[in-house]
Amino acid sequence: MPLENRYDLQQLLLVRMDIPQWHTIWQRNFTRVIPFLDFCQISPSDRLQILSSSPFPINVPERIAKKIEKGSIDDPLFRQFAPLMAEETATAGFDADPLHETTAHCTENILCKYHGRALIITTRACGMHCRFCFRRHYPYCQGPSDFHDELSWLHDHHEIDEVVLSGGDPLAQPTSHLERLLSALGKISHIKRIRLHTRFPIGIPERIDDELLSSLQKIPQQLLVVLHVNHPKELDDEVIVSLSRLRRLGIPLLSQTVLLRGVNDRVEILESLFSTLGNAGIIPYYLHQLDRVLGAAHYEVPVQKGLALVEALRGRMSGYLVPQYVQEVAGRPCKMAVSTAITLS
């Protein structure tokens, strides 16, 4: 049976089981290296640069794989998701917990790094695995959580007025699970804002469905959605239309981008990305200097180059389209603006 027909049959069966469309599409992700390389038509010689297996498994949406230039290991999307041999090169200054998150727990699933804010690890699951992910070695708790301890802790800490939902990706949860958590947070009066950080719509825009929108409308607090996007190829009409459904609910949309060598470290690429976001009503929020996680050294862009790129953007774009260039430094009270004063040693 042709592949597309197998997918159609699978989708029909899952619909009958009341499984949402987005989850059906998510199940098509490439989760094994060889099929992914075959699909991308990578030559035998170029495959010598790719790891055949990794403790951090690949996870690439079919939608993203279709956008990759066939036969090119230099494609900016391929470079974000393919496990390159360079990941096994030990580099001084890069470690498994670059932000010291394992020491920032208030409960099993709450991280407290900044005043007035708490971050909930909602799930270990993600819509895709970026190879530079700063949590690629994170010791996630096993199994689902009812967040009883987290909600109890938040009830008792009135200094917390903003909660960040992270992961993994909070949209990797079933909507019913996410709605229960949001409903419980909605009953805590001192929480005024809830921020949802996601990359899911980039690979599976169908995630922004009627059920999710209905759930988000019930939240009494101010909700903000922060989209992780690194290259203009990640944005297309379907992604933009999907995100516009959130905007129509009055939800502010922000973006964050990681500066990545060989992916987006040219001013023309960043200008195109931030212009496309701005045209879609998504405000560029942060441009991150790479978190120095073990296995990602080949993505690092020198700070001086990053500063030059941001300065060039300021000369080409409206100020509100140029994000803050920041770096998270373990133990500091906030993300730090990148400047010549910051050292990465």
Domain positions in the chain:
3-88, 101-337
Check residue 342 and give its pLDDT.
53
Count Cα atoms within 13 angstroms, Cβ side, for 344: 22
| Residue-wise pLDDT tens digits, 114-152 | 999 999 999 999 999 999 999 999 999 877 789 999 999
* Burial of 330 from C-beta contacts in 10 A (0-12 / 13-18 / 19+): middle
Residue 301's contacts (CB-CB under 8 Å, 6 or more residues apart) are 259, 260, 261, 265, 289, 290
CB distance 122 to 321 below 8 Å:
no
The two three-digit tokens of residue 11, written as one number: 């989708």
Check residue 310 and give its pLDDT.
98
Check residue 69 and give its pLDDT.
98
Check residue 3 and give its pLDDT.
36
The two three-digit tokens of residue 207, written as one number: 């995630």
Q: Identify the residue whose tokens are 């970026």.
A: 130
The two three-digit tokens of residue 1, written as one number: 């049976």
Q: Which residues of 100-131 are buried (b: 16+ CB within 10 A; e: fewer)?
A: ebeebebbebbbbbbeebbbbbbbbbbbbbbb
Residue 164's contacts (CB-CB under 8 Å, 6 or more residues apart) are 117, 118, 119, 120, 194, 195, 197
Check residue 341 and give its pLDDT.
47
Check residue 185 and give its pLDDT.
98
CA–centroid distance for 299 within its chain: 16
One digit per residue, pLDDT tens: the chain, 345 residues?
Answer: 333 333 343 444 444 457 999 999 999 999 999 999 999 999 999 999 999 999 999 999 999 999 999 999 999 999 999 999 999 999 999 999 999 999 999 999 999 999 999 999 999 999 999 999 999 999 998 777 899 999 999 999 999 999 999 999 999 999 999 999 999 999 999 999 999 999 999 999 999 999 999 999 999 999 999 999 999 999 999 999 999 999 999 999 999 999 999 999 999 999 999 999 999 999 999 999 999 999 999 999 999 999 999 999 999 999 999 999 999 998 888 899 998 545 544
Residue 214's contacts (CB-CB under 8 Å, 6 or more residues apart) are none
Pairwise CA distance, residues 209 & 22, whole Å: 8
Check residue 340 and give its pLDDT.
54
Name the region of 296 (left: φ>0; alpha: ψ -120 to 50; beta: rest).
Answer: alpha
We find that the CATH architecture of domain 101-337 is Alpha-Beta Barrel (3.20)
